[in-house]
Structure 1
Amino acid sequence: MTGTVTEEQDSPPVPRARALLRRFLGNKSAVIGAVLLLVILVVTMASPWLAPYGPAQIDIANRVSGPTPQHWLGTDMLGRDTLSRLMHGGRVSLAAAALAVAIATGIGLPLGLLGGYFGGAVDWVLDRAADILMSFPAIVLTIAIIAATGPGLITAMVSLGIVYAPRMYRVVRGSAMGVRREVYIEASTSIGTPHLTILRKRVLPNILPTVLIQLSFLLASALLAEVTVSLLGLGALPPTASWGSMLGQAFQDMRTNPALAVYPGIAIAIATLCFNLVGDGLRDAFGRETRKAS
């Protein structure tokens, strides 16, 4: 029936997956970052089967050794294989960063949707709370929470997730406020569609590209934060291996074996760069779709 506004009408076109993939693959830097990141994830997650030694396995006869046929990257002060610890440590560091980002998303995403969509007093209260949390440097606030609750990797990442939640909230809130003014939202509201349904079927799918881009950048930031807290002895505790704890132990042995700090440092730099490259590629791909739609 013509002239009747339905919930399906006036909805923006959903970006086609093939077109987005083609744009992403057209960005060589993003593709290189994605491939390297995939390799890092596969190697680190499969470290229990791929690593030649256990992360805490000691070889007293080859303490502080350089690269050898038995230990490709050498050993540390306790005779532990550096390559094995690097692989296992990456698994811990990446999983910890993912946990922090998952917590930040679990808090910031629904609150951002509520604040951006409804506005008013709800938005004012949430926005002031975000302002307070974001007024402190993230790593300083994380260390303060850890100091109050006790050290440990899980505690550190939960604290970091809480600290990062306002960042996700701000991104989601701004995107939701923009979508709220669209014609298809007004059309859905005019025909009596419940707000929860509008949020789930109209608002969330259209801010999802922005959320995915923010996730990539947050993962890079969370990885560096995990390294920092573990380097300070507040994250991964012995004998657990992580890239941050490996750096902390390497600094103690810098005079005897400075190469121990090089390997985790390179791994951290490459992983962080890959997350940022993928984020840039996603932003470029989705950004082109947005400009075309507008």
Structure 2
Amino acid sequence: MTIAYLIHSERPYGELQELITQLTKQGDHVFIMINDNELRDQIAFTFMEYSKVHISQKQMYAQEGDLSLARGTLMQMKEALQLKNQEFDYFINLTDGMVPLKSRMEILAYLKQYPDKDFFYVDRSEKDDPDLRKKTEKYYPYTNIITFPTNKFVRAMTKGMASILYAFHSKRKLEDEILIGSPWFILTRKSAEILIENFSYCSNTYKLSWYAEELYIPMMLHKFAPERYQEHINDNLRAVGDGKWIESHVVLPCTTKAIETCPNALFGGRISAETEAGLYSSYFDIYNANLG
């Protein structure tokens, strides 16, 4: 089995170089978006002769919270699917500096238990929470600016303006069932192909959306591949912060507590050398532990 890792990262050069090296040691490929121009050039130069490392060029910038991250990830899938003489069995996204918490052998052993299944976590639908439609129908201006994910003032202004526009009946018209869940996934090649075939739906539907990456995977597969959606494994396989994903919240670094809380997690959020020194010193080698 071969994995296409779809990465969006702003980690320092040393950490990013090490992560890419570890992820590609056993034949897997890395497709990576890097926001910083200088860092992107450094990584491109370092791995310029590595055929398994692909620096995103058609969309080089993305950020958590708006359409750019969802759109950029789909473009990475498309690039992977178009590679000649290379077929990927799984597409796994790692955002915000995520790293493996298990060895490659353990990850594949888990996936093999559910052949031809997708893995993503759906928290709820509008049937469970009618307010979800109101939130999703709103247009959130200012989402595609650098300060959006973290700046509290911009977030508050964005939500306030969205409510004003909604009150004046400026809202998106959505006929599809609204679903929301974790932005992280493990998808089969078949599902990746279906998403790419319907790429325009993502761009048209989630423009000026609030955290589009929490919506587009479940909603698109529910709409365009209902049988595959019904059979997906609804597990939250990522450990972030002190536990699991928190809706529409900037992703917190992974902690020892998070790993203890989520023992079945395959991947974890970025690990800090300052707050988790012991964990940080060992995690780079976890993925290739079976190589000795």
Provide TM-score, normalisation by structure 1. 0.24
**Structure showing greater Rg:** 1
Q: Which has the higher helix share?
A: 1
